[in-house]
Structure 1
C-alpha cells in the first residue's frame, strides 16, 4: 500500500513536470507570436512568412523565451502562476515595443530598461487609449493572479513547496542568463548558435529590419551590452603615434592661417526639442509659416541643416555627438544610448568642455541646462564626468513658466536662463541647453492657438496643430533671445539646432520625400559680432565645434583636424546615411563608399574611437586633444 502511494506520488510529480514543460513551451510560443506580430504592425501574413520561412530561427527565438521563464517558475514554485506572470510581462514588452515603433520608429533596446525609473514620464507620453489599455491589462492581471492564488487546481501545479528551496533554486537558475548576457562576447555559444543553425545574418545598420528579419528576441539579444566598437586590426601604440603625428601636422597647417580664438567669446549650444520646418516636406503645408523668425535669423547667420541620428527620438545621442564629435556611425549597434551605456568612460571622451579647458586656460564657466528631470539618461553623472561646472535642471530653474496647459518649461524661460547665466559670471561662458517645450505627446491639446493654423496633408490634425502651435511659440522665443543677444556687450556665438523630427510627421508624408529628409533639422550658428551669411548645407552635429572654430578663426587640435578632414569628404553621415561634399547620398553602408581617402579617414576615426573607449587612451598621452607641441 505504501509503495503504491509512493508510486502514485512519483507518477503525479512526473505528470506535473511534463505538463509544466508543455505549458511553458506553450507560453513561450504565445509570447513570441504576440511580440513578433506587433513588430510586424499586426500583419498576420508577415508573421506567417517569417515563421514558415525560418522554422529553425523561430524555434530558437521561442527557446530563449522558454529558458527565460525558469527563474520565474523556480522562484514562485508554481508553473501556472509563473507562466501567467511571465506572459503578463511579455504583453507589456510587446505593447512597449509597438508604441516605440509608432513614435520613433525603432524597437526597444536593452538599454531602454533604465527608462523604467521614469515610468510616469513614459506613461503620460502615450495616447490616452494606450494608457487605458495598460491600466486594464494591469488590473486584469492582478485580479486574475488573486483568483489563481485561491484555486485548488493551481496549487496542484506546485513543483517546489518550500520557500527556502525556491529562493536557492531561483538564484542558481540565474546562471541560465549568463550565456544570454554574454551574447555579444566574441564567439560566444548563443550568438554563434544563431549564426550556425539558423543561418542568421545580423543587420547592424537598421535595427527595425534586424528585429523583423531575425526575430524580436534575437534582435534584442543582439543589442545587449558589449564593446562600443570592435578593435581595429592595426590598433597599437605605434599606430596611434603615427596618427598623432599625422594630424598634428594637419592641425599645424590649418592653424598657420588662423589668427583668432574663443578666448573672448561666450559659446552657447541650444538643442531644441523636435525643431523642424514643416513646410520643407512634400505633401505637407502649414499656414501661416510657424518658423518665420527662424528663417529671418538664418539669413544673417551661418545656417543649414543638421543630420539627426533618429526620427521621433534620440535626443541624448544627438547631444552626445554635438558635445564630443563622436558619431554613432562607427559604434556597434548594441550601443543605443551613449549616456546610459558608456557613462564610466565619459571622463576620457574629448569634448567642447575639454577643448575650452585646454585651449582657453580653463577661463570658461561651463553650465549645462535641461529644464526637466535630472535622472533622464543619467545626465547628472554624465555632465559631471564631462567637466561641467554647473548643472541646472527643472527644480533649479529661475525661469520656469509653462505655456498654457503644457507639461514642460517653455523655451522662452529656458532661453532667459541661458542669458542670465552669461550675465552673472565674470568669466566667459559655455552654456549648453537641451530644451523640453517641443516634446510630445502632441495629441493632448496643450495650446489654444490651434485655430491660427491650416494644416494640409495626411497627418493627424490634432497632433500637427499642437506641434506647430508649440513651434510658433519657440520661434517667438528665438526672436526674443536673438534680440537680447544682439544688445549684449559680450561676444556670443549660439549654435541652435533641432535634435530630431517629431513623430507627428506621418509615414504618408515622409514617404513622399527622400529618406534623408526624415533626419534633417534646422541649424543656425548665430553671432552677435558678425552678420555674414553662409549656407552650411547639411552637416552632422559632430562638426559643430569645427564650424565654431572656423567662424572665430580659432585654432584646431589634432582631433578637430581629423574631424575637419572627414567633413571635407563626408559633411553629413550617420548609420545608414552618407552624404558627400556635394550632398549626394552615397548609400547606407561603408561598402557603398568608393572614395578611398574618405574610407581611410573613417578608419583613422575608428582607431581614435576605439582608443578612447577600450584602448590605452594613447592619443590623450600624445596630446591629440590639445595644441601642445
Structure 2
C-alpha cells in the first residue's frame, strides 16, 4: 500500500529535510489511527459507566475485551477515512458516532435499564421524542464532553500531516474494515473463534450485564446478528404438524365446539370487549416504607376485592410499551426473541394473527385507540397487519382535553364510550393511554392531591407524588367507563392493566429509597426482585355475571387466552397452545420463570421444555416461518390478510357511516376527518 505523506512545507526540495518530515508524518499517522480508537473506547466506557475508576477497573480486568473494542473502533475509523479521505474529518465523524452511541446507551440505561441496540436506529422519531424528555446535569455534561472531543479532533486538521492514499488502497482499506465489522456482527466462523479465544461471554438474556462485561462497542456489534431471529433447531413441517394434532386432540377431549360467547348469561348477545392498557400504570401503595395521605386507587382496590384480578408479568420496565401490546395481542412472547428487540419495528411486516383479527372473524368491529400520534412505534402500519379494522390515534381526537404533557385519560374514556355507543356491532377495542408517561420530575399536574410520607429525598418525594396523581387519574378514568357501562343494555367487559412499572427517577431512585429493591444494578437483583419490578396490577369488570378468579401471576402473552376462556370463546390454535403452557409456567420472561406453584426459576423446568419448544416453533412459524400451522388447523384465522378497508372511516366519511351501520343521510352522524 503506497502512502503519499506530504510535509506541510511543500516548497522544500531537500531530501534530507523531506525524510524526517515523512518519518514524522508516518509516526503521526500511526499514533492517530491507534491512539484515537484507544481514547474513544475509554471515553465511551467512561460516558456510560459514569466513573473513571470503574472504567479503569474494567480495562485492567478485561484487557482482551478492551482491545477487541479498540479494534472495532479502529475499523469504524478506517472505514470512514476510506470514504472521506481526511484524517481529522474522519476522526471527528468517528468520535461523533461513537460518542452518540455512548450517550444514547447511557440515557436508555438510566431511563429503562436497557442499553443502545442496533435496531434502536430504526426508532427515528420515537427516539427523538423521548430524548427531548431527558434532562439533567449528568446528561448535559456528557453531551458537552462529546462535543468538545469532536471539535478537538477536528482542529487536528491543522496539525496532522496530509495523508493521501491511492484510490485503490482506500477501497481496499474500506472493504477490509467493513468486512471485519460485518464478521463480528454476524459472528462468522473466524470471528467466532476469535471471540471464543478472547473469552467473550454474550449474555443475550441480560443485555445490561452483556454491555457491562463486554464493552459498548463489542456488545453493540454482537447484537447485530440478533436483528435476525434464527430458526429453531427442530422447526419443521413435521414438528408443527405434531403440535396441530395435539391441539386438535385437546379440543376434542375438552368437548369444545365452535361457538362465540355463551348465550346463557348474555341472552345471545356478544359482549363488547375493551382492553385498556394504561401507560406506566402501577400501584404505588405497594412501595415499602411509604405512606399516602389517602388511597390513590380506590377503583382498582375495590375491583381487586370484587372481580377477577391479579398481576401480569410484563417483559418491560419503564418503556417499550409496544412490546407489551405485541405479547397481549398476538400471544407471542418476548422471551423467544433477542433481548431488547422491538417486534413492531423489526418483525411485524406482514399480517400476523392476533386478538384483533380473531374478534373481527367473530363479527366484532376491532378497533385500536391510542391518545398519541399514530406513527409512534409504527402502530399505523402494524395495527393493519394485526387485523384491526380501524385505528384512532390522537390525530383523530376532536379537541381533546390534555393533562400534563399529553391527552388525558378521561378523554380516552370519553372516546371509548363514544365509539361503542355509535357502533351497531359489538366492539373489540384495544386502548393504549398516554397521560402518565414519564418523566415525573416536573410537577406537571400542579398541586398534587396525594402526599407521601417516608424516608425519601425531596426529589424522590416529588417524583412519586406526581406519578401517583397521574395513576389516580387513570383509576378515575376506569371508574368513568364503569359508571357508563353499568347502566348500558350492551353487555360489556373491561380488562384494565398497565404496560410496565414507571421509571421513578434515574437509577431506580424511588424504588431504592423506598426499600423496594436493594440495588440499581439489575444483575444484582434476586428473582423475587425481578418479579416485583415486572408485576403489574390487572383488574377486570363486566356488567354481566362472571365468576371471580384470582390470578397470582400471568405473563402478558397469556392474557388473551385467559380472557377468551373467561368469555367462553373457543380459542384459536396459537392461543390454545398458550393456555397449555400457562398451566405449567404462568410467568415467562427471558430471565425469570414462574411455575404453577409460583416458585421462581431462572429457566423453564425440564418437564415443561418440550411444550416450550412447541411454543417457540409456533411463534417462529407465525412470524418468520412458512406458516405450516395454517395448513393443519384454523386456516382462515391463521392466514387472514389485513383488512382491505383499514382506517377508511377516518379518510372516507361514507365508509365511516357504513362501518357504524348508519346511512350517509343520518343527521346525527358525525364522521371524523383526519387532521
How high is the TM-score relative to the length of structure 2? 0.82
Report the 3-state secondary structure (helix = DSSP H, G, I; strand = E; otherwise coil) of the residue aligned with 1:306: strand
Aligned length, in residue pairs: 606
Q: How far apart in 1 are the matches of 2:78 and 2:591?
A: 38
Q: 1:57 to 1:627 in 2, by over 3 A?
A: closer
Following superposition of structure 1 onto structure 2, how do residues 102-117 of structure 1 map, counting pairs within 5 Å?
A: 102-117=110-125
Q: Deviation per CA, 1:454-483, whole angstroms, max 9, x where unpaired?
A: 242446122112111111111121111221
Following superposition of structure 1 onto structure 2, how do residues 505-544 of structure 1 map, counting pairs within 5 Å?
A: 505-508=510-513, 509-512=515-518, 514-530=529-545, 532-544=547-559
Which residue of the partner structure matches residue 423 of structure 1? 421
Q: How far apart in 2 are the matches of 1:462 and 1:191?
A: 49
Which residue of the partner structure matches residue 441 of structure 1? 439
Q: Report if aligned partners of 1:229, 1:331 keep a CA contact under 8 Å in 2.
A: yes
Report the 3-state secondary structure (helix = DSSP H, G, I; strand = E; otherwise coil) of the residue aligned with 2:486: helix
Which residue of the partner structure matches residue 499 of structure 2? 499
2:32 matches 1:32? no
Q: 1:296 to 1:3 in 2, by over 3 A?
A: closer
Q: How far apart in 1 are the matches of 2:135 and 2:252?
A: 55
Which residue of the partner structure matches residue 475 of structure 2? 475
Report the 3-state secondary structure (helix = DSSP H, G, I; strand = E; otherwise coil) of the residue aligned with 2:550: strand
- Aligned match for 1:617, one of 616, 627, 632: 627
Q: Deviation per CA, 1:28-69, whole angstroms, max 9, x where unpaired?
A: 12221222234434261x433322222222111110011111
Q: How far apart in 2 are the matches of 1:568 and 1:170?
A: 58
Q: How far apart in 1 are the matches of 2:67 and 2:157?
A: 33
Report the 3-state secondary structure (helix = DSSP H, G, I; strand = E; otherwise coil) of the residue aligned with 2:368: strand
Q: 1:259 to 1:365 in 2, by over 3 A?
A: closer
Q: 1:50 to 1:625 in 2, by over 3 A?
A: farther
Q: Report if aligned partners of 1:57, 1:194 keep a CA contact under 8 Å in 2.
A: no
Q: State the shift of 1:613 in Å.
A: 3.1
Bigger mean CA deviation after superposition, 486-495 or 314-323: 486-495
Which residue of the partner structure matches residue 335 of structure 2? 329
Following superposition of structure 1 onto structure 2, how do residues 149-164 of structure 1 map, counting pairs within 5 Å?
A: 153-154=158-159, 156-160=160-164
Q: Report if aligned partners of 1:31, 1:87 keep a CA contact under 8 Å in 2.
A: yes
Bigger mean CA deviation after superposition, 421-430 or 177-186: 177-186
Q: How far apart in 2 are the matches of 1:143 and 1:226?
A: 34
Q: Deviation per CA, 1:546-603, whole angstroms, max 9, x where unpaired?
A: 1211111111223222111111101111111111112111x2233xx24x1x111101
Which residue of the partner structure matches residue 61 of structure 2? 53
Which residue of the partner structure matches residue 122 of structure 1? 130
Q: How far apart in 1 are the matches of 2:252 and 2:610?
A: 20
Q: State the shift of 1:74 in Å.
A: 3.2
- Aligned match for 1:89, one of 97, 100, 108: 97
Q: How far apart in 1 are the matches of 2:541 and 2:193?
A: 52
Q: State the shift of 1:134 in Å.
A: 6.6
Q: How far apart in 2 are the matches of 1:142 and 1:153?
A: 14
2:72 matches 1:74? no
Q: Deviation per CA, 1:263-296, whole angstroms, max 9, x where unpaired?
A: 7122212111111111213233333221122111
2:359 matches 1:356? yes
Q: How far apart in 2 are the matches of 1:392 and 1:225?
A: 35
- Aligned match for 2:590, one of 575, 578, 586: 575
Which residue of the partner structure matches residue 578 of structure 2? 563
Which residue of the partner structure matches residue 287 of structure 1? 293
Q: State the shift of 1:243 in Å.
A: 1.4
Q: Deviation per CA, 1:500-535, whole angstroms, max 9, x where unpaired?
A: 101104334332573310111111122221264221
Following superposition of structure 1 onto structure 2, how do residues 138-153 of structure 1 map, counting pairs within 5 Å?
A: 140=148, 148=155, 153=158
| RMSD (Å) for aligned C-alpha atoms | 3.1
Q: How far apart in 2 are the matches of 1:25 and 1:582?
A: 56
How high is the TM-score relative to the length of structure 1? 0.88
Q: Report if aligned partners of 1:77, 1:158 keep a CA contact under 8 Å in 2.
A: no
Q: State the shift of 1:175 in Å.
A: 6.3
Unaligned runs of 5+ in 2: 1-9, 263-268, 505-509, 519-527, 639-675
Q: Deviation per CA, 1:146-204, whole angstroms, max 9, x where unpaired?
A: 8x3xx8734x5332499xx69x9589826633453464646443344212x21212212
Q: How far apart in 1 are the matches of 2:378 and 2:584?
A: 34
Q: State the shift of 1:114 in Å.
A: 2.3
Q: Report if aligned partners of 2:308, 2:549 keep a CA contact under 8 Å in 1.
A: yes
Q: How far apart in 1 are the matches of 2:565 and 2:157?
A: 76
Which residue of the partner structure matches residue 319 of structure 2? 313
Q: How far apart in 1 are the matches of 2:19 and 2:326?
A: 60
Which residue of the partner structure matches residue 72 of structure 2? 64
Q: Report if aligned partners of 2:186, 2:225 keep a CA contact under 8 Å in 1.
A: no
Q: How far apart in 1 are the matches of 2:633 and 2:15?
A: 77
- Aligned match for 1:277, one of 270, 280, 283: 283
2:485 matches 1:489? no
Q: State the shift of 1:376 in Å.
A: 1.9
2:340 matches 1:342? no
Q: Report if aligned partners of 1:248, 1:624 keep a CA contact under 8 Å in 2.
A: no
Q: 1:81 to 1:234 in 2, by over 3 A?
A: closer
Q: 1:171 to 1:379 in 2, by over 3 A?
A: farther
Q: State the shift of 1:5 in Å.
A: 5.6
Q: State the shift of 1:339 in Å.
A: 0.8
2:605 matches 1:601? no
2:382 matches 1:372? no
Bigger mean CA deviation after superposition, 261-270 or 428-437: 261-270
Q: Report if aligned partners of 1:608, 1:619 keep a CA contact under 8 Å in 2.
A: yes
Bigger mean CA deviation after superposition, 433-442 or 232-241: 232-241
Which residue of the partner structure matches residue 297 of structure 1? 303
